[in-house]
Amino acid sequence: MLDLQRLKQGKVQFSKVDLGQLARKVIIEMAPLAFAAGYTVQFEVDGAGEIDGDPLALQRALMNILQNAINHGGRKGIISLTSGCNWIEVSDEGPGIPADVRDRIFEPFFKRHHDGRGAGLGLNLVRDIIRLHGGEVTIDNRNPGAVCRLSFPLERAAGGDTPQRLARVMDSIASP
Ligand SMILES: Nc1ncnc2c1ncn2[C@@H]1O[C@H](COP(=O)(O)OP(=O)(O)OP(=O)(O)O)[C@@H](O)[C@H]1O
Ligand SMILES: [Mg+2]
């Protein structure tokens, strides 16, 4: 999985990351979990795109989102992963996110279900990673389900100490 040691040491080299390839890798890795949990899985590449980033951190972020769809997506219906030129979307057909908690799901340790599953760090970590790539995470409800979108600037200006800041973020996160 993620080489946390490498990130801790600040030896993160941003490189060109093909979002379609990244999404394909994650879906291949996680589809068996989704099938076992009762979902159908769809994967689509809707336009090729490369961004500047750390492939392992981005993979970890996307895996968290997919794990959320699996854990919170109602255990039926379709989990769909689509990648575009500078974005990746993960949707499910579960209950979606209630309006009253929508603003708080990115807070560290926020969990709606206090059933002992997970540490509640998922979306907080995802947002940190995506922001360090100059991007944004949004989650919206569809009827039914939730759709989580990671979007990145098309041309990211070479950004100062970003890899070092990323290393510090990763340092504070325990491996799952
Ligand atoms: N696809 C989704 N559908 C419905 N609710 C969701 C979805 N994704 C996230 N949530 C809600 O947002 C909350 C925060 O998500 P987050 O990933 O940060 O924590 P978690 O999944 O509960 O725990 P962890 O990721 O640490 O295992 C979840 O507890 C859940 O209530
Ligand atoms: Mg989660």
Question: Does the CB atom of residue 129 touch ligand 1 within 6 A?
Answer: no
Question: Does the CB atom of residue 128 touch ligand 1 within 6 A?
Answer: no
Instruction: Return the bridge partners of 41, or none.
Output: 79
Ion ligand 2: residues, CB within 5 A, are: 68, 122
Domain that residue 112 falls in = 14-171
Residue 116's CATH number: 3.30.565.10
pLDDT values of the chain reduced to their tens digit, one per residue, 176 residues: 354 455 555 567 789 999 999 999 999 999 999 999 999 999 999 988 899 999 989 999 999 999 999 999 999 999 999 999 999 999 999 999 988 888 899 988 776 665 656 555 789 889 988 988 899 999 999 999 999 999 999 765 445 456 666 776 666 664 54
Any domain includes 26: yes
Nearest-ligand number for the alpha carbon of 95 = 1
| The predicted structure's pLDDT at residue 79 | 98
Any domain includes 19: yes
| Total number of domains in the chain | 1
Any domain includes 7: no
Any domain includes 176: no
Strand order in the sheet with 146-151: 40-45, 78-83, 87-91, 146-151, 136-141
| The predicted structure's pLDDT at residue 171 | 63
Any domain includes 97: yes
